[in-house]
Amino acid sequence: MKPIQKILIANRGEIAVRVIRTAKKMGIKTVAVFSDPDAQSLFVQSADEAFSLGGTDARSSYLDVEKVVKACLTTGADAVHPGYGFLSENTDFASQLEKHGIRFIGPKPHSIEAMGDKIGSRLLVAKSGVPVVPGYEGASQEISVFKKEAEKIGYPIMAKASAGGGGKGMRRINSPEELEAGILSAKREALSAFGDDRILLEKYITNPRHVEFQIFGDTKGNIIHLHERDCSLQRRHQKVVEETPAPRYPSDLKTKMSEAAVMAAKSVQYEGAGTVEFILGESGEFYFLEMNTRLQVEHPVTEMTTGLDLVEWQIRVCQGEALPQLQTPSQKGHAMEVRIYAEDPKEGFLPSIGRIHHLSFPTRDYLRIDSGVVSGSEITMFYDPMIAKMIVWGEDRITAIRRLVECLSETIVFGPKTNLQFLQKLVSAKEFAEGKVSTHFIADNEVELLSDNTKEELKLALSGTFFTSKELTSPWSKETT
């Protein structure tokens, strides 16, 4: 296969900058595509060429398959890196590119399709022997049947509305005595919310952790894993902190889970970078959740501990090269990543838009910042308000935590509100240091995590003091003093 000459990055912001960095290192030309609000962005300036898609929101720009394909043909790009989000798991886009002889840096459309459907992928991987959350999805809605099935699954169980979403029609049932009342109440709620009272049962995982495996496949049928990431600190199912290796994690469990991850990837003849996600129970039982068929936001923690460049691997695999090694590489030290967002934690984490008057990060050799904005950039209402990913490395987990807290506290963002302080409190929490957090931790501790250290009146006093102080020494102060 001919080596790739020119990559078009069908994405924006931090991930576009990150892909451009690797392409440059490999001597490959890059093309950025951009919408109107992004015309002055860092990623547009970083690429060798830039192509305007027009439009403002994602739908009329980055998500418009026709426009992006046209950009490839116009600029003569022979490959597309989709980043994550946007068109990264869009099979129509991947097929369109294929038709025009443009390479899609990602898995084959059939793998994306197979893993895209939650129930379908669950059945598929279960067939290849990967554990899935035990449950009952049968047609019968008789209480006696539910009772029998619940005994088989084991208590506590979760009754879920078949048509459900957003936590509606969900009941936790702890014992056979609670079963009938729980099912009936879930049914009532499901009927009023969705007009459909069908219920399914699932094993309830107490205080679960979210652990995922980075996997990689090539065109020769080789698939290996590149260790796990623990993403248990979540807020409303959005990851907040990601780390590797997973804390408090026996090595035999890791072996079992990594084998399951590779099996899941083999079930769809996977090529390129992917992630197999598991939910991990308190007593070490684990179940397949889903597979992401793309590079992920948290891939840098894997890179920090293995010394690999996963984007380079993606590009090489796409060029038809075999994996450089068929053994899982060894991992050194501990890495942690947080996502710094322009959002207001005190206002329900609503996005906080506006101009970034000042942005600065500390510089350390153990710190990596992946960002798509600089001082003067604008956070707009059109896209995800992520400012940067901060990734630190330490010889061990405690060192990594200490360094992360320090780097967060030295990061300055003036303009929009951010989650910086919230993140500092979160990673400083004793439970986190002990590795004892589940996916419920943030929700359970929100009040403490959102509190301030400096009192309002002191903040005002300092604001007033420094508002005046420069005027007194400024060249224009003659009249006022």
Partner 1 sequence: MDYLFETKSGPASVFVSGGAVRVRIGTKSFLFQLENLIKEENSSTNTNSLQSVTMLDGSILKYLKVRNEIFLHWKGETWNGKLTERQYEGGGQTSPEIKSPMPGKVVQISTSVGTEHKAGETLLILEAMKMENAVKAPYACRVEEIRKSQGELVQQDEVLIILHRIEPEKT
Instruction: Give phi and psi for 149, each to the nearest 5.
Output: -65, -40
Query: CA–CA separation, 388 vs 117, rounded Å?
Result: 30
Nearer to partner 1, 252 or 467 (CB): 467
User: Which residues of this protein are in contact with partner 1, per CB under 8 A?
Assistant: 357-358, 360, 408-410, 412-415, 418, 420-421, 424, 452-454, 456-471, 473-474, 476, 479-481
Shortest separation between residue 417's beta carbon and partner 1, angstroms: 8
Nearer to partner 1, 144 or 453 (CB): 453
Nearer to partner 1, 327 or 454 (CB): 454
The tally of CA atoms less than 13 A away on the side-chain side of residue 445 is 20
Shortest separation between residue 345's beta carbon and partner 1, angstroms: 12
Shortest separation between residue 204's beta carbon and partner 1, angstroms: 38
Nearer to partner 1, 144 or 473 (CB): 473
Shortest separation between residue 35's beta carbon and partner 1, angstroms: 25
Shortest separation between residue 446's beta carbon and partner 1, angstroms: 18
Strands 79-81 and 350-351: unpaired
Which is the catalytic residue, given 229, 294, 368, 397? 294
Nearer to partner 1, 326 or 414 (CB): 414
Nearer to partner 1, 205 or 386 (CB): 386
Give CA torsion, residues 62, 64, 70, 71, to 10 deg: -10
Nearer to partner 1, 251 or 453 (CB): 453
Strand partners, 269: none
150 close to 176: Cβ distance less than 8 angstroms: yes
Shortest separation between residue 429's beta carbon and partner 1, angstroms: 15
Nearer to partner 1, 347 or 395 (CB): 347
Strand partners, 280: 209, 286
Q: Respond yes or no: is residue 364 known to be catalytic.
A: no
Shortest separation between residue 474's beta carbon and partner 1, angstroms: 6
Instruction: Give phi and psi for 66, each to the nearest 5.
Output: -60, -45
Shortest separation between residue 384's beta carbon and partner 1, angstroms: 21
Nearer to partner 1, 325 or 463 (CB): 463
Q: Which residues contact 49 (CB under 8 A, 6 or more apart)?
A: 29, 30, 31, 32, 75
Q: What is the 3-state secondary structure (H, E, C) of the chain?
A: CCCCCEEEECCCHHHHHHHHHHHHHCCCEEEEEECHHHCCCHHHHHCCEEEECCCCCHHHCCCCHHHHHHHHHHHCCCEEECCCCCCCCCHHHHHHHHHCCCEECCCCHHHHHHHHCHHHHHHHHHHCCCCECCEECCCCCCHHHHHHHHHHHCCCEEEEEEEEECCEEEEEECCHHHHHHHHHHHHHHHHHHHCCCCEEEEECCCCCEEEEEEEEECCCCCEEEEEEEEEEEEECCEEEEEEECCCCCCHHHHHHHHHHHHHHHHCCCCCEEEEEEEEECCCCCEEEEEEECCCCCCHHHHHHHHCCCHHHHHHHHHCCCCCCCCCCCCCCCEEEEEEEECEEHHHCCEECCEECCEEECCCCCCEEEEECCCCCCEECCCCCCEEEEEEEEECCHHHHHHHHHHHHHCCEEECCCCCHHHHHHHHHCHHHHCCCCCCCHHHHCHHHHCCCCCCHHHHHHHHHHHHHHHHHHCCCHHHCC
Shortest separation between residue 476's beta carbon and partner 1, angstroms: 5
| Residues with catalytic function | 294
